[in-house]
Structure 1
Amino acid sequence: MTVTTNASDLVAVSVAGRVANPGFSALPAEPYRLTAEGKAFLWPTFGGIVYNVSVGDSAFGWSGDCVHPSVSIAHPDANKNRGLNIFACVGNRATVTSGAAKGVTGTVTGKSGRFSDQVIVHFDRATRQKIAVDDQIMIAAEGVGMTLADHPGIAFKSLAPALFDKLPKTVENGVLKMGVVATVPPHMVGAGAGLTSEGGSLHIQSTDRAELARHGLDKLRLGDVVAIADTDSRYNHGYLRGAMSIGIVGQTDGPRAGYGPGMTVVMTAPDGQLSSYEAAANIADILELSA
């Protein structure tokens, strides 16, 4: 179904970052983290080039803590990194501009990091073998400022217009309904709720595995489109009865309390202006991203 956006009026602008090395804080001195049960662990976490986890793979089962699939980028200048995180949108084209993989293109698939400080970019596995930490990647950023004339109450966040056009959707009684794999109840929204809604991610709390399964969230794949009930993300994130947000699963599960698969919010609206229905909806399939 065609829903008309103001895509022809949007500004496409370049933003860039370097392939980010995984890091640990200077303090505490020990690198260990704690599971929800208080057990110390040391697993790979976000950042770097991840050679064997891709969009379309399961969001669960990895011996990692909120791992970003494929490649994570950030700009070393904090202000410029803020621009990268705000303007990059899921579905944007990314081009390697230095190193052995120079000229190869990929696709933005999410935003995350400890404080909304990294952008996640998909490249096929052969390309990942050529990319190095600190290689520069430029994004043709387009999507910020997107609106729908017939649905002015819906706000877009970090979504490329070309991807929006391809997402499953319908309109019923004036309400835009997006096709989603599952719906996240508000009590399962965890880490990220206190950060900006213009970047970063909201985590699905996954400590309670029975509750996860009850809502059909235990089989999520990276790249799945999900609804987030009673969540208003127009200006940061907050609980609002009747509101809805739409997110895309961008990173894997993790064992810490309050964490789980991370979602990049791409649409949001209060008061029942946005709804959902169950559908096969994964951006690896929709954008035909090669592993």
Structure 2
Amino acid sequence: MSLRANFEEIVMLSVIGEIGSPRRPFSPYVVTHDGRPVTVPSSGGITYNVRVGDRASGWACDHVEPGATVRNKDADENNALAILSCIGNEAHVVSGEGKGSVGTVTGKHGGAEHLMIDFSPEVLNKLTIGDKIQVRAYGRGLRLLDAPEIKLMNMSVQLLQRLPATVAEDGSLTIPVAGIVPPELMGSGVGSNAERGDYDIQTHDREVLEANGLANLRLGDIVAVRDQDHSFGRGYRKGSMVVGVIAHSDCMVAGHGPGLTTIMTCNTGKLHPVIDPEHANIASILGLR
């Protein structure tokens, strides 16, 4: 059964931000999980050579965000940008040399409260820090008509309509994922609200990653986390399941790793991930690359 939802009820609303410069404290160092002080790129700005679809690990960086990083300097307006925007939404450049270009929302970064936007390399080269980006927020309020026990969040109409998922007669949903994460690997962001931002897959125990098939995750991968319920905050619940999208790169700091922005959660056992990396990345699902 193909996915049916209340598409005709969903409102499309504008929210706006601007490409924000990277920001750093006075000290040049971050301390890695094994105690090494390093100076590497981090979040913010325009990342020219890391895009959705690229590897999430193996970069000399910490929390790097693919494409253009957008935020609003007004706290409440940034809350609207962070909450109402959904993965897959159109992002329109409305100032600067790239005015008129259109990108796609690919993830959210909690803590920093950033929105990540994918643009083609040609557009990225026209953008500058301070350019205004207006997102057509379109997805809040979505409900699956045939799978009501599965809660959607941060999911755009655009992504849901192209998602290679199926619903069975009993209301269960099967979705291809790049991997299934055990709950003990989840780190920074546990306990916070999943309607915005992300939480991190800890990657510093490489043996565990290899054993679970998680060593080669890509930015934009759709990934499941078992025994997690995000209905009203990120937490442990045996038998529950969460599905999200890898939003930012791996990290060097303890308790951190590639960030996962939630798109689905279910606490009744009706969300079934199937490992199929070839069909589980938004770069191909949304036609970004």
Q: Structure 2 length normalisation: TM-score?
A: 0.96
How far apart in 1 are the matches of 2:147 and 2:71?
Answer: 34
Q: Which residue in 1 is equivalent to 2:89? A: 92
Instruction: Determine which of 245, 259, 263 is the counterpart of 2:242.
Output: 245
1:222 corresponds to 2:225: no
Contact 2:93 2:131 in 1 (8 A): yes
Residue 260 of structure 1 aligns to a residue whose secondary structure is coil
- Determine if contact 2:149/2:171 at 8 Å carries over to the other structure: no
- Displacement of 1:30 in angstroms is 1.6
Residue 151 (structure 2) aligned to one of 142, 152, 155: 155
Inter-partner Cα distance in structure 2 for 1:160 and 1:249: 16
Specify whether residues 221 and 78 from structure 1 end up closer, same or farther in structure 2 by C-alpha distance, changes over 3 A only: same
CA distance in 2 between partners of 1:228 and 1:258 (Å): 16
Q: Which residue of 2 aligns with 1:139?
A: 135
Give yes or no for contact 2:31–2:253 (8 Å, CA) kept in 1.
Answer: yes
Instruction: Give the superposition deviation at 1:33.
Output: 1.2
1:181 aligns with 2:188: no
Does the CA contact (< 8 Å) of 1:2 and 1:165 recur in 2?
Answer: no
AA aligned to 1:180 is V
Contact 1:67–1:251 (CA under 8 A) maintained in structure 2: yes
Asked if structure 1 preserves the Cα contact closer than 8 Å seen for 2:177 and 2:221, the reply is yes
1:9 aligns with 2:5: no
2:277 matched to 1:281?
no
What is the aligned partner in structure 1 of residue 22 from structure 2? 22
Query: Any gaps of 5 or more consecutive residues in structure 2?
Result: none
8 A Cα contact 1:116 1:199, kept in partner: no
In structure 2, what is the Cα distance between the partners aligned to 1:116 and 1:170?
34
Amino acid paired to 1:35: T
Q: Is the 8 A contact 2:146 2:167 kept in 1?
A: no
Would you say 1:41 and 2:44 are equivalent positions?
no
Q: Does the alignment pair 1:74 with 2:84?
A: no
- 1:124 alignment counterpart: 120
Deviation at 1:178, TM superposition (A): 1.2
- Give the CA deviation at 1:36: 0.7
**Partner deviation per Cα, 1:221-245 (whole Å, 9 max, x = no partner):** 1111111111111111000001111
C-alpha distance in structure 2 between counterparts of 1:101 and 1:257, whole Å: 38
Deviation string for 1:251-289 (max 9, x for gaps)?
Answer: 111111111111111111102021211222111111111
Match of 1:164 among 120, 140, 160: 160
CA shift for structure 1 position 40: 0.7
* Paired AA for residue 286 in structure 2: L
Residue identity in the other structure for 1:123: F
1:162-215 Cα offsets, whole Å, 9 max, x none, are 211211212344311111111011001111113221111111100101101111
Listed one character per residue, the Cα deviations across residues 92-135 of structure 1 (whole Å, up to 9, x for unaligned) are 0000000000000000000005x151100000111111100010
Question: What is the rounded CA distance, in whole Å, between the counterparts of 1:171 and 1:153 in structure 2?
Answer: 12
Scaled by the length of structure 1, what TM-score is found?
Answer: 0.95
Count of aligned positions: 286
Between 1:12-21 and 1:195-204, the stretch displaced more is 195-204
The structure 1 segments of at least 4 consecutive aligned residues displaced by more than 3 Å after TM superposition are: none
Query: 1: distance between equivalents of 2:188 and 2:128?
Result: 30
1:196 equivalenced with 2:184 (yes/no): no
